[in-house]
A and B are shown apart, each in its own frame.
Chain A
Amino acid sequence: MKSLAELEEIRKKTLDEIKMRKNKEGIRVVVGMATCGIAAGARPVMNRFVEEIGKRNLSDVSVTMTGCIGVCKLEPIVEVIDADGTKVTYVKMTPEKASRVVTEHIVNGRVCQDLTIGAAEQAGK
């Protein structure tokens, strides 16, 4: 270790890896993983989120799971909750759609309107 810069580099890199133990801010991705969700294919969806987030070094995003939200016919359901608490509910998710949500919503802040529960309801009418 010959410089402060080196120390700072290690600090930043490791902090990204362990940040989830420290702060509760940032975006939360919550995947419905009850029996209905798992049966509908929530696991590959969640794996895709984990993969994409890791690939892009998005250290302030966390992925957690939750139980049945109640609209089982729309599973797999994923909620993306922003730091300010606004919640977007995505339904009938697939790994491909998960990749889209990461690029468009999480990275660029543009909600994927066509994948939300609102869009599904519109279509159902």
Chain B
Amino acid sequence: MDFYRAHVLICGGTGCTSSNSQKVKAELEAQINKNNLEKEVKVVTTGCFGLCAEGPIMVVYPEGVMYTMVRVEDVEEIVNEHLIKGRPVKRLMAGDKEADDTTKSLENVDFFKRQVRIALRNCGVINPENIDEYIAYDGYKALAKALTEMTPDQVIEEVKKSGLRGRGGAGFPTGLKWELTKKSKSNKKYVVCNADEGDPGAFMDRSILEGDPHSIIEAMTIAGYAIGADQGYIYVRAEYPIAVKRLRIAIKQAQEYGLLGRNIFGTDFSFDLELRLGAGAFVCGEETALITSIEGHRGEPKPKPPFPAVSGLWSKPTLINNVETYANIPVILNKGADWFSKIGTEKSKGTKVFAVGGKINNTGLVEIPIGTTLREVIFDIGGGIPNGKKFKAAQTGGPSGGCIPASHIDTPIDYETLRELGSMMGSGGLIIMDEDTCMVDIAKFFLEFTVDESCGKCPPCRIGTKRMLEILDKITSGKGEIEDIDKLEMLAKNIISSALCGLGQSAPQPVLSTLRYFRDEYVAHVRDKKCPAGVCKSMLSYVIHADLCRSCGICARNCPVGAISGEKKQPYVIDQEKCIKCGACMEKCPFKAIFKNA
């Protein structure tokens, strides 16, 4: 055994990689070599810890000290102080800001304390490119158990009993889906993993693939055994290069170990996996479009029924589940359905991973028991709203979801309550908005996204969403009429009832939900030609307060379009015709003499 006195884990997820974690790692290795510590200290690349806002993240064991925002320049100090002298560098430690000088280890940071990590269990713990480390944490044990001790029906029964529901958004009972696919008679069946994560801001699937790729391989193999399939496909977007690379490595390792391939664990069961790379079209996250894309055609949806469980890939019965759904499967088989179903609410069991973003201090990934309230997520785990601003609403479900206003902040989050509130669980994007957010503008943002991503096959989605966007454009540019709001609502309802696939059927949700809770903001835009949050540019103006202006000229020098003019001892003036409302002058004014009129 190679014994190291310390393991240094560095996050190699996409978030930390883009904030330079690989350079930090290179510097760490250089410093370790320089000090001849390479036999004492092991450096390990791992998956996402979830606290992406604070990246790059580094964790030093055995103490479990977590360093955040580590820069290349900090590495020498960490090596000299912590690794050589055993003195953790306090100024770089997570939670250092709190008045508490005890050593902060991972488990004590507020962000992690309240989480229950099932799908993310191995992310930030193991080296995802080393199958042995996955096995050490009970990896492939569930597959072994399923193949040698359980019948396919028993596996399905266990998944059904666990109460696991699809984590891709709709929340269909997973066990039932497995059962339906098993019951379909055919000489060939397929298992597919939907890793075409497309909601703006959602990245839990990416993090699981990057941090724990073997859990998906294991779960898909179990699913293959349960439904009677010998071939699986992981459909992942090419925009996730790190995930693709780690999946390739993981599949190869599993094949070398005989955990994929013929006669797994000496049984009659054979199963293999292939990757299919998507080009990044949002509609391909819709299961029928995804299947069409795997077949080599343009990614367009098909009407349901028939459901994939009956006729899917190459018209054969196909089981298609989302990444996060699969990630739960090995744990359910290892710990049992009874254990799993104790977590969560009556109708929604287990945990859900949320990608928390927007106006919140701890941007990142959190996994919480279903039924946790929004308040706990935002204030206890998320660290609250930056700059002392007020919480206004949370957006869940991305372009298919809706808003939850501040008045419902104590609602437990589960599939049913979110639907009652006019939103949806979705894949787990959770965008936090503060008082400076214009709800009409947010609705427009999501609609712009769906207009771009509509595949164009059915008219309600192709033409209808475009018309809705035009009306929103009219409203936000101050030209709206009061009938426009009713028109918007009517169009939205018609699109929902007539679009072909989930994309179109849910595209109007952001508009409907903001209309439901923030109708007064729409009315203010239309009737008063005012944007209450001061976001919509056509409705606001910047003015210089004549009494406060000291004629220093800083504003005029900073104006990118030369819209400000003035003379010494005379207050400066903004030419409203030229002004592009960028706000640069207000930011620079040393006397705070410039105001935004909403």
- Nearest 6 interchain pairs by C-beta: A65-B86, A54-B3, A14-B136, A63-B5, A1-B258, A14-B132
Residue-wise interface mask of A (1-40) relative to B, using a CB-CB cutoff of 8 A (1 in contact, 0 not): 1111001001101111110110010001011011000100
Interface residue A113 (Cβ < 8 Å from any Cβ of B): no
Interface SS of chain B: loop
Please tell me if the beta carbons of A20 and B61 are within 8 angstroms of each other in the complex. yes
Residue-wise interface mask of A (98-109) relative to B, using a CB-CB cutoff of 8 A (1 in contact, 0 not): 000000000000
A2 contact from B9, B39, B138, B265, Cβ within 8 A: B265
Interface residue A67 (Cβ < 8 Å from any Cβ of B): yes
Given contacts A7-B144, A24-B62, A67-B86, whether A2 and B5 have CB atoms under 8 Å apart is no
Name A residues whose Cβ lies closer than 8 Å to a Cβ of B.
1-4, 7, 10-11, 13-18, 20-21, 24, 28, 30-31, 33-34, 38, 46-47, 49-50, 53-54, 57-59, 62-67
Residues of A within 8 A of B497 (CB): none
Please tell me if the beta carbons of A3 and B86 are within 8 angstroms of each other in the complex. no
Please tell me if the beta carbons of B85 and A18 are within 8 angstroms of each other in the complex. no
A1 vs B148: C-alpha distance when bound (angstroms): 13
Please tell me if the beta carbons of B7 and A59 are within 8 angstroms of each other in the complex. no
Q: How far apart are A102's CB and chain B's nearest CB, in angstroms? A: 11
Residue-wise interface mask of B (1-14) relative to A, using a CB-CB cutoff of 8 A (1 in contact, 0 not): 11111110100000
Q: How far apart are B266's CB and chain A's nearest CB, in angstroms? A: 5
A16 vs B257: C-alpha distance when bound (angstroms): 20
B1 contact from A10, A24, A30, A57, Cβ within 8 A: A57
Please tell me if the beta carbons of B39 and A50 are within 8 angstroms of each other in the complex. yes
B135 contact from A11, A20, A28, Cβ within 8 A: A11
Count how many chain B residues have C-beta atoms less than 8 Å from C-beta atoms of the other chain.
Answer: 37
What are 23 A-B contacts with C-beta separation under 8 Å? A1-B257, A3-B266, A7-B135, A7-B144, A10-B135, A10-B136, A14-B133, A14-B135, A17-B2, A17-B136, A21-B9, A21-B61, A21-B125, A24-B62, A30-B86, A46-B40, A57-B3, A58-B3, A59-B1, A64-B6, A64-B63, A65-B85, A67-B86
Which residue among A15, A17, A21 has the maximum number of chain B CB atoms within 10 Å of its CB? A21
Residue-wise interface mask of B (124-143) relative to A, using a CB-CB cutoff of 8 A (1 in contact, 0 not): 01100000110111111100
Please tell me if the beta carbons of B1 and A2 are within 8 angstroms of each other in the complex. no
Residues of A within 8 A of B132 (CB): 10, 13-14
A63 vs B148: C-alpha distance when bound (angstroms): 40
Interface residue B548 (Cβ < 8 Å from any Cβ of A): no
Interface residue B377 (Cβ < 8 Å from any Cβ of A): no
17 more A-B residue pairs beyond the given contacts A14-B135, A18-B7, A65-B86, with a C-beta to C-beta distance below 8 A: A1-B259, A1-B264, A2-B258, A2-B265, A4-B144, A10-B132, A11-B135, A14-B136, A16-B1, A18-B136, A20-B7, A20-B62, A33-B86, A47-B40, A50-B40, A64-B86, A65-B85
